[in-house]
Copies of this chain bind each other. A is one copy, B any other.
């Protein structure tokens, strides 16, 4: 998508130097567009853990490149294979909730595990990482195509009045490679000239909505209004939301959706007001091994400073200001799980399905366990 008038994706090999992976360091947005060079698996670990980059699809792609960079560092190691396995295990600990982190690492490690010199392993890792990037890009593009009719239908019903879409956190192109998950249908509709308007949840405590989603919609000319996370229910009560459209960090085989903390509250409000609640996700963020999301998905707890301080980037430096009592004990859970019963439909790269096992396996029959 566009940023400062140019076309960008979120991750790429540095032109002229394929030993360097480049990403947008999202901590500086919306204040500055900073490109970061990642030259080692340690850099990738830090970028994921400290949220220079975030979003399930992007975390997965970055981790894939992390394995590639680890192999570039593997020269001279006694047992590059063993060393790689250790690094891979460590990289998986960068963040706990997005399943893409684990699956993409496993996938690249599997791809390089065949016999071969270190050089061959490096080549294969890069190939696989680029393949993941390509697949994620294509998945989001298709999510946009499959989600578009949902917006078109509301637009027709409203006779061209703007379709009001509420989103939480950032499930935009910044969370993916391009297009985004939840934003893909929005961008597609906007491109087709359908009037859309997005209610952007601020998304405390890290403000991914006000900092990232607002920025990317603005850069791409989509109309939006920023709201506090507390506001969605009130808007729905007054008929000001036509649909909720969010992404997912991990979806279970029965359609429970782990996403940014607060998503569950919006799903409850949507249900209470008969507003459709759609979750857009590439199948890469489905965890085929988990059924009950509330009991079985590990929810990340982050540091309390995110609620106690405001980190402000000004005049080229970060400053930290207290916004609460520094002595306060804090619980800072990063995600919550929206039970499948509150989800109207999943929008995947293969089309729409209900948030329930049979419907999901109908779209992805190859994932069906032999004795279900």
Given contacts A336-B237, A337-B237, contact A330 B265 (CB under 8 A): no
> Are A323 and B207 in contact, CB atoms less than 8 angstroms apart?
yes
- A28 CB to nearest B CB, Å: 13
Q: A328 contacts the other chain (Cβ, under 8 Å)? A: yes
Per-position binary interface string of chain A over residues 208-219, scored 1 when its CB falls under 8 Å from any chain B CB and 0 otherwise? 001100110010
Given contacts A230-B265, A237-B264, A265-B230, contact A323 B210 (CB under 8 A): yes
> Are B230 and A261 in contact, CB atoms less than 8 angstroms apart?
yes
- A45 CB to nearest B CB, Å: 26
> Are A330 and B226 in contact, CB atoms less than 8 angstroms apart?
yes
**CB neighbors of B among A170-210 (8 A):** 199-200, 202-205, 207, 210
With a CB–CB cut-off of 8 A, which chain B residues contact A331? 199, 225-227, 231, 235
**CB neighbors of B among A261-300 (8 A):** 261-262, 264-266, 268-269, 272, 294, 299
> Are A307 and B31 in contact, CB atoms less than 8 angstroms apart?
no
How many of chain A's residues touch chain B, expressed as a range?
A: 35 or more
Q: A324 contacts the other chain (Cβ, under 8 Å)? A: yes
With a CB–CB cut-off of 8 A, which chain B residues contact A230? 203-204, 229, 260-262, 265, 336
> Are B324 and A207 in contact, CB atoms less than 8 angstroms apart?
yes
> Are A226 and B269 in contact, CB atoms less than 8 angstroms apart?
no
> Are B225 and A325 in contact, CB atoms less than 8 angstroms apart?
no
With a CB–CB cut-off of 8 A, which chain B residues contact A205? 202, 228
Q: A329 contacts the other chain (Cβ, under 8 Å)? A: yes
Q: A30 contacts the other chain (Cβ, under 8 Å)? A: yes
With a CB–CB cut-off of 8 A, which chain B residues contact A322? 31, 312
**CB neighbors of B among A299-323 (8 A):** 299, 304, 307-308, 310, 312, 314, 319, 321-323
With a CB–CB cut-off of 8 A, which chain B residues contact A266? 265
Give the complex CA separation of A322 and B319 in angstroms. 12
- The CB with the most chain B CB atoms within 10 A, among A31, A218, A233, A327, is that of A233
With a CB–CB cut-off of 8 A, which chain B residues contact A269? 264-265, 268
Give the complex CA separation of A33 and B232 in angstroms. 34
Write the chain B residue with the least CB distance to A199: B331
Give the complex CA separation of A322 and B261 in angstroms. 23
Given contacts A233-B264, A310-B312, contact A30 B225 (CB under 8 A): no
Give the complex CA separation of A226 and B228 in angstroms. 17
**CB neighbors of B among A26-60 (8 A):** 30-31
Q: A332 contacts the other chain (Cβ, under 8 Å)? A: yes
> Are A330 and B204 in contact, CB atoms less than 8 angstroms apart?
no
